[in-house]
Amino acid sequence: MGIEETARALEKLGFGEIYLTKSGKKGGARRKGKMEDRRKLLQEHFNSFKDCTKCDLHRNRTQVVFGDGNPYSPVVFVGEAPGEDEDRQGRPFVGRAGKYLNKKIEEVLGLKREEVYITNVCKCRPPGNRKPTPAEIGACFPYLKKELEIIKPKVICCLGATAGEGILGKKLSITKVRGQTMPYPYDPKILVLLTYHPAYILRNPRADTEFVEDLEKLRELISG
Ligand code: URA
């Protein structure tokens, strides 16, 4: 097992900080080398933009909604932007769409929500839950990019066209590209998997079958 998988396995068992030890000199003295603490790095990153005013979304937000979950997760789910519930509670995907997403993560991936990492392309709620504009996504993207640099997932699973467009930097028709994978432009070792947004499936229940297919593909990608 490589160091990344070991860290992820330990994190799953509830270890927050992992220390790598090497047998040292005489008397069993041990040299301690601390493995990168992604929770701390994320906290520092979030603190750096909690008062962001780069776009007008700051005017109506209750708070910036950061990503949450396991920073050693092999997958990062990326949604569009916080809605009303998320803006109030300060966590992504806590409303109806989030409950559906959690259920599918458990059923298909066999993982609890806390075992994966969930975030958005836009960290502030657009008024009336409208789609974020390209300018708003552009202003927020450096924050997501840095978040992904810290987590280094195997797969970025984009929930809906807005997330896919933000991550890949090009226009998409999600019904055409769902189920497909492409390299993440800023780190081609990371795969981007495109699928539907959970809120779309709640409005179009027949899309559930395809969403499950996409999550099954994701399960294969992260288990390999
Ligand atoms: N929809 C999103 O895209 N993100 C959330 O956090 C909640 C709903």
The arithmetic mean of pLDDT across residues 135-142, rounded, is 98
pLDDT digits (tens, 9 = 90+) for 62-97: 999 999 999 999 999 999 999 999 999 999 999 999
How many residues would you count in the chain? Answer: 224
Burial label for 173, CB within 10 Å (0-12, 13-18, 19+), is exposed
Q: Which residues contact 63 (CB under 8 A, 6 or more apart)?
A: 50, 87, 90
Ligand 1 pocket mutation, candidates 120, 157, 174, criterion most atoms within 8 A of CB: 120
Q: What is the pLDDT of residue 36?
A: 79
CA distance 109 to 223: 10
Q: What is the pLDDT of residue 2?
A: 59
The arithmetic mean of pLDDT across residues 113-138, rounded, is 97
pLDDT digits (tens, 9 = 90+) for 97-106: 999 999 999 9
Q: What is the pLDDT of residue 7?
A: 53
What does 116-132 look like in DSSP terms, one character per residue?
SEEEESS-SPPGGGPPP
Ligand 1 atom closest to the Cα of residue 79 is 3
The arithmetic mean of pLDDT across residues 108-120, rounded, is 98
Q: Which two tokens stand for residue 73?
A: 């997760």
Q: Dump strand ranges (E) for 2-111.
A: 19-23, 30-34, 68-69, 75-79
69 close to ligand 1 (CB < 6 Angstrom): no
92 close to ligand 1 (CB < 6 Angstrom): yes
Q: What is the pLDDT of residue 6?
A: 57
| CA neighbours closer than 13 Å in the CB half-sphere of residue 27 | 1
87 close to ligand 1 (CB < 6 Angstrom): no
Which residues in the chain are classed under CATH 3.40.470.10? 38-223
Mean pLDDT (the chain, rounded)? 90
The architecture CATH gives domain 38-223: 3-Layer(aba) Sandwich (3.40)
Q: Which two tokens stand for residue 30?
A: 């041990």
Q: Which residues contact 72 (CB under 8 A, 6 or more apart)?
A: 4, 7, 8, 11, 38, 151
